[in-house]
Chains A and B, each alone.
Chain A
Amino acid sequence: AQRVTQPEKLLSVFKGAPVELKCNYSYSGSPELFWYVQYSRQRLQLLLRHISRESIKGFTADLNKGETSFHLKKPFAQEEDSAMYYCALSPSGGYQKVTFGIGTKLQVIP
Chain B
Amino acid sequence: NAGVTQTPKFQVLKTGQSMTLQCAQDMNHNSMYWYRQDPGMGLRLIYYSASEGTTDKGEVPNGYNVSRLNKREFSLRLESAAPSQTSVYFCASSERNRPQVLHFGNGTRLTVT
A41 and B101 CA atoms in complex are apart in Å by: 21
Docked-complex contact A43 and B40, CB < 8 angstroms: no
Whether A97 is near chain B, meaning CB under 8 Å from some CB there, is yes
A66 and B44 CA atoms in complex are apart in Å by: 27
A95 and B101 CA atoms in complex are apart in Å by: 11
- Please classify the interface of chain A as helix (H, G, I), strand (E, B), loop, or mixed, using the class held by over half of its residues: loop
Q: Mark A84-110, 1 if CB is under 8 A from B, else 0.
A: 001000100011111111110000000
Which residues in B have their C-beta under 8 angstroms from that of A45? Answer: 103-104
Docked-complex contact B100 and A98, CB < 8 angstroms: yes
A100 and B101 CA atoms in complex are apart in Å by: 12
Chain B interface residue number, banded: 20 to 34
A99 and B48 CA atoms in complex are apart in Å by: 13
Min C-beta distance of B4 to chain A, whole Å:
8
Chain A interface residue number, banded: 20 to 34
Docked-complex contact A44 and B104, CB < 8 angstroms: yes
Docked-complex contact B104 and A102, CB < 8 angstroms: no
Using a CB–CB cutoff of 8 Å, the interface residues on chain B facing chain A are: 4, 31, 35, 40-45, 48, 50, 58, 90, 92, 99-107
Docked-complex contact A44 and B42, CB < 8 angstroms: no
Query: Would you list the 8 A-B pairs with minimal beta carbon distance, nearest first?
Result: A102-B42, A90-B100, A100-B43, A44-B104, A95-B99, A100-B42, A43-B104, A43-B106
A34 and B94 CA atoms in complex are apart in Å by: 14
What residue of chain A has the Cβ atom nearest to residue B43's Cβ? Answer: A100
